[in-house]
A and B are shown apart, each in its own frame.
Chain A
């Protein structure tokens, strides 16, 4: 796993406005929520400021007019403002919620869509857990920042503007004195927000180390016990938990320091207002209501500045997440149909049933590797100058040591990867000139660890052909000898297979994946045979199932079991990216080379297992 993917939360010192703008553009089509949100933000900001003015109006009114003051109007205005403000609050939560959730939904959908198109090389370097985080918390986080950030920015700026205008209109000299508090407030807020973000990141870092520590200690508990390492492990863990403690307390202290400092600054502003305002009231006819309003306004600056600073910092913290998600959306699949192929696909070829949708013959007669070389992204060369021709109906077994290149050959056939140099030809045409979707719909694949999806057995088999009837599903299951074990299950074909198929044994899963592949009726069949021990009975079932599948197709099998190897029309021994030996079972045995060695050691292992298994059955 490349190290850069483990870096979850890099703090970006510079805010990339372009990136956030691009993300914001994705929210633009949610106009019918964005506009009300902006309106709500302005309403709230205006109401917030208006309340202080109403207080001033009431106080001045009662002082000047006494009981003649228009109380009915006070009540009416106050009530109106309250209702407006609450409606604004209701509106902004609802609208921001809509934008946030809809945006997250859309970005997530687009990411998912992109992942369905990207080639395997993309997945080779990115762990599943890493991708899941991109699609879940990263999408949510970005959408949240965009929606609530938009709200906070509109609200904060309007509110600041309103306060400033009110102060300056009421008394511009006194107003300027109070407004002078804004720059230091802004600087201090930014300073602390950044520190707090950094220490919060530190906490997350230690937290994931602690999680890893628990994980390791629990899965390695036997080893710890047998090595008598309990005390040493605890000592190591204590260091981790002490670091975590330190980081967490530091973060709490920053928080505890930040709020008092800004509230003290707020009182400083209020104090200044009281001092200068009091003097003005005494000597210059400033009304008492205005004085109270000034003191109130002075205390209000903190909120909008705090939330603006917070949003800015949050964006800095989430910038890495933004880059990753936008990067994913911008990644173009490396393996896709060329413009020529797309043009051919646009034509209607359905008049001639012998043609595929890309206008080339539907039937696959030959597959040819011509000087194919391959290496994974910046890795060592896996295949060297491979030449091979396979004809319709042939079964090819690939054997050899692990890492020799067997799986790569199979992946190239399926066009999960493309050759780095050389060509793969289908019926003499380079397969890059044919449609990817056409080729992959001709494939049937059974992998070493057969993957099933959560759901019933029927659903899993039907994955091979979505419009297959129940009867066809059953026929496929019968052909691969899976019907018997399925009907023995409590719910038969409707039995759930569990997550990843974990309610079934490996052998049973393999049979289901055969049925699934058979139902697709592919022209090309590819299998990576499992070595994991399967009992003799299942082995026989599988072999009979295989017979059905192999007949009449081109099959590539990465074979481990002798029975499969022997059945192949041609056996290729692949070592270090080259075809070391090639021929039928008998030819290769007579040669007494690499294949002979592989075969005899495998033979011995299978026999030894058989003897042990037989003995276990004997005495039972």
Chain B
């Protein structure tokens, strides 16, 4: 409990003043609100019923009558009391409005800060972290868990403050009016609070069961709808109806059980609350007949009970919510506790922007450490050494799992190598800031990610504020310009969920244009043309050659048509270089490259023989 309070206190940093002023307004609103029944009470007793002031008259009532110029004056000007009551209600309302506003500013401010923090943090967490986490779960934590926290901060924190204040302020006030009546009026308040607390604690699991039943129902609906083709294919509608009926009925019955529990809770707690009011009423009435109590005071006490009973009954719920909020906060803090990508402590000398694209790799080793990633050595690097010259086009060939993509990720500093060295223009990569490195590399992946923005904005992500002609030139080079013009809104076409869906090949070409626009000294194409036909591919590769000037290009490819464009080819297997050379050299050597090359020539002969055979 204490640590929970500590966490929430920490969360409030920077907004504590707001909370303070909200609480202040709440206290003022409550105090003023308490004055209204007092005026009613004083008016009824002293102005209307004709009771006279006596030494045992409560101080507050004497004071109020004094403010109205005495009982006789009030009786002659009876309108004064209602005007005062309405004024007080309006003032109390004003403060309660200010309270709501301040509390919203504070709680929404905290929620907003949490969201921004989470967003920024997630963008800076290592790629490794994102490899093993589930997007849905992360989004859930960032949205619904933050919302649970916000609701608690907005309403429950204030409710708790209100309850504490009520207990602290109402009690002395009531005591000052009448000590014995206060004791009678509080007789059942304690039991109600305790009942509420234990009730909500014990039904927590029922709420959970309802949630689970709803989840199960949703899962069955989802399965049926995603598999609707299979259902129809086997004409299994009746079977599916029967399958659906079970969770549907279960959800109904669980919800009913929860409501039945609620009906018991509310009727019993109402019963106790009404008994309390009745007790006050009848005891007060009895005392009136004894001459020790007055109608006005009774009116006041019953009004106060009305104000106080509600928060007392809410206490149980607040405490359950505190539990939920703690769970939500723990889930949020788990994300924030993960360390961000580390940066070199000191960068003594940055090579400026003049990176020439010269890379030296020496004895490079890397193993995936995560438990969820392949552990059979796929994607590992076992001592890689090679050089890339400035302006060279180097192709990487090899079966899947050979380590080609891992190498790209290391160059981008998405992963950090464990052993060996990579040097950019003679600078050790691990000593260069990640963002500096990435700003100098243009990369296109096999399944490129495009943002749900317009095509123009997506292309601009590569080149800051590039002018339109430059964007179009890049799109032309990537052979996507003509396709874009066929869309109704051209470059302003929105893509993604709220816009149009591009085919795999179109997305690859947009991503290539995006990379071109970035004008990087180093361009990496990671199987980036797998969905583009060979003809277009040649066009793009030629355009790249013309445009790139001195840009170094690394190409991962499976197709021979890509490989022949490279100055040099590295053949990788099991994290090692097994062959290296130009197209001419490799096709003369026995090995993977030649076998690929031979397919082309053997294809025609094979077909001929197949036809002859028939």
Contact = CB atoms under 8 A, between A and B. Distances in A.
Interface of A: 1, 3, 6, 51, 55, 58-59, 61-63, 65-67, 69, 71, 74-75, 78-79, 82-83, 85-87, 89-94, 96-98, 100-102, 104-105, 108-109, 112-113, 115-117, 120, 123, 128, 131-132, 135-136, 207, 210-230, 233-234, 237-238, 241-242, 244-245, 248-249, 252-253, 255-257, 259-261, 263-264, 266-268, 270-272, 274-275, 278-279, 281-282, 288-289, 291-292, 295, 414, 416, 437, 440-441, 443-445, 447, 451, 453-454, 463-464, 466, 499-500, 516, 520, 526, 586, 589-590, 600, 603-604, 607-609, 611-613, 615-616, 619-620
B91 to A, nearest CB: 9
B611 interface: yes
A511 to B, nearest CB: 15
B599 interface: yes
B380 interface: no
Contacts of B89: 260, 263-264, 266-268
B96 interface: yes
A59 B287 CA distance: 11
Contacts of A82: 271, 274-275, 278
A611 to B, nearest CB: 5
B101 interface: yes
Given A116-B241, A270-B40, A619 B574 contact: yes
B263 A93 contact: yes
A97 B263 contact: yes
A221 B81 contact: no
Contacts of B452: 212, 216
A465 B497 CA distance: 39
Contacts of A603: 603, 606-607
A589 B263 contact: no
29 contacts: A62-B289, A69-B289, A71-B285, A89-B267, A90-B264, A94-B260, A96-B259, A100-B259, A123-B228, A132-B218, A213-B119, A214-B122, A221-B123, A245-B109, A252-B103, A253-B100, A260-B94, A263-B93, A267-B85, A267-B88, A274-B40, A288-B49, A414-B232, A443-B235, A586-B614, A589-B611, A604-B600, A608-B559, A615-B595
Contact of B285 (A62, A136, A223, A611): A62
B235 A440 contact: yes
Interface string B74-93: 01001101110110111011
A221 B596 CA distance: 35
Given A63-B288, A97-B259, A98-B256, A74 B104 contact: no
Interface string B100-111: 110111001101
A275 B81 contact: yes
B498 A128 contact: no
A500 B268 CA distance: 47
A453 B223 contact: yes
Interface stretch (B395-403, B479-487, B546-554): B395-403
Given A136-B217, A256-B98, A603-B603, 13 more contacts: A112-B221, A211-B139, A213-B119, A225-B434, A226-B441, A234-B120, A241-B119, A252-B154, A257-B100, A604-B599, A608-B559, A611-B596, A616-B400
A615 B573 contact: yes
Contacts of B244: 109, 112
Interface in B269-285: 270-271, 274-275, 278, 281-282, 285
B443 A226 contact: yes
B568 interface: no
A608 to B, nearest CB: 6
A420 to B, nearest CB: 20
Counting from the closest, the 4 A-B pairs by CB-CB distance are A256-B100, A260-B93, A271-B82, A97-B259
Contact of A230 (B79, B124, B448, B498): B124
A132 B221 contact: yes
B438 interface: yes
B603 A600 contact: yes
A589 B115 contact: no
A71 B239 CA distance: 67
A166 to B, nearest CB: 18
A289 B285 CA distance: 11
Contact of B414 (A225, A256, A288): A225
Interface stretch (B169-177, B295-303, B310-318, B343-351): B295-303
Interface in B150-197: 150, 154
A500 B249 contact: no
Contact of B139 (A215, A463, A600): A215
A3 B109 CA distance: 32
Contacts of A291: 44, 48
Given A256-B104, A267-B36, A1 B252 contact: no
Nearest to A254: B100
A288 B44 contact: yes
B461 A229 contact: yes
Interface residues of B, number: 151
Nearest to B267: A90
A275 B281 CA distance: 24
Contacts of A453: 223, 227, 230
Contacts of A214: 118-119, 122, 138-139, 142-143
Contact of B230 (A78, A237, A270, A463): A463
B233 A444 contact: yes
Nearest to A244: B112
A215 B123 CA distance: 12
Contacts of B256: 97-98, 101
B286 interface: yes
B595 to A, nearest CB: 5
A253 B281 contact: no
A607 B597 CA distance: 11
B132 interface: no
A66 B86 contact: no
B116 interface: yes
B109 A218 contact: no
A516 B227 CA distance: 14
A23 B223 CA distance: 28
B27 interface: no
B75 A295 contact: no
Contacts of B259: 93-94, 96-98, 100-101
Interface in B476-507: 496-498
Contacts of A516: 234
B93 A234 contact: no
B281 A55 contact: yes
Contact of A252 (B108, B236, B607): B108
Given A214-B142, A600-B603, A615-B399, A295 B40 contact: yes
A590 B611 CA distance: 8
Nearest to B264: A90
A245 B574 CA distance: 52
Nearest to A611: B595
B225 interface: yes
Nearest to A513: B230
Interface string B433-447: 011001101010100
Nearest to A261: B93
B473 interface: no
Interface in B33-58: 36, 40, 43-44, 47-49
Given A222-B127, A223-B448, A607 B599 contact: yes
B251 interface: yes
Contacts of A108: 248
Contacts of B96: 256, 259-260
A131 B451 contact: no
A598 to B, nearest CB: 12
B610 interface: yes
B112 A241 contact: yes
Contacts of B419: none
